Chain A
Amino acid sequence: AQTVTQSQPEMSVQEAETVTLSCTYDTSESDYYLFWYKQPPSRQMILVIRQEAYKQQNATENRFSVNFQKAAKSFSLKISDSQLGDAAMYFCAYRALFTSGTYKYIFGTGTRLKVLA
């Protein structure tokens, strides 16, 4: 069964510095997508970045980038030049086509990021 693991319940980073959030997953599928979502205190879920399993190039969105290691089944999120507005819960998610013919997402348990001024 597919699983997503975020082993860091909480992380802290100083403003303007860089932080990396870890995510590992387990799957036997060859084609899938991985996502990072951000959930600020307002609790709205916001898509941060996505990565296709077939693409070797790591995805980048402004200050956010991923380190995708397919063989190791690792998908970490790097936040550069951290800002106070980055403080949130971050969820790693995996999406694949299941045998039911449906695309489903599996979410990790989240990492709470604190940004220190």
Chain B
Amino acid sequence: SQTIHQWPATLVQPVGSPLSLECTVEGTSNPNLYWYRQAAGRGLQLLFYSVGIGQISSEVPQNLSASRPQDRQFILSSKKLLLSDSGFYLCAWSAQGLDQPQHFGDGTRLSIL
């Protein structure tokens, strides 16, 4: 069966420090991969999505970047974190096909001090 792993679960970082959140998927190949941010009590904002290795699309201009170095690995990064980067980050994958739901990781709670 397919599983998605996202880490770390919680992260506290100072302003100006770098960031690296990692997400890996097991049990499937060529998944669509997504990074979302969720502000407290709010909906999901799509940050990045990827349909293949090295293929990244950005939804909103921001201080973050994403990379997909391997088929089932998706990384969210920043060179210098801002206070506004605080939030709950969710990684998700889906199979190809219109009927395929998204499957989410457990999320990372990022606090910027």
Residues of chain A at the chain B interface (Cβ within 8 Å): 31-33, 35, 42-45, 47, 50, 52, 91, 93, 95-97, 100-105, 107-110, 112
Residues of chain B at the chain A interface (Cβ within 8 Å): 32, 34, 38, 41-44, 46, 49, 51, 57, 88, 90, 92, 94, 96-104, 106-107
User: Nearest-CB distance from A24 to chain B (Å)?
Assistant: 15
Of A31, A33, A105, A109, the contact of B46 (CB 8 Å cutoff): A105
Of A32, A33, A42, A107, the contact of B44 (CB 8 Å cutoff): A107
User: Nearest-CB distance from A44 to chain B (Å)?
Assistant: 6
Q: Are A35 and B42 CB-contacts (below 8 A) given A102-B51, A102-B57?
A: no
Of A50, A104, A108, the contact of B101 (CB 8 Å cutoff): A50
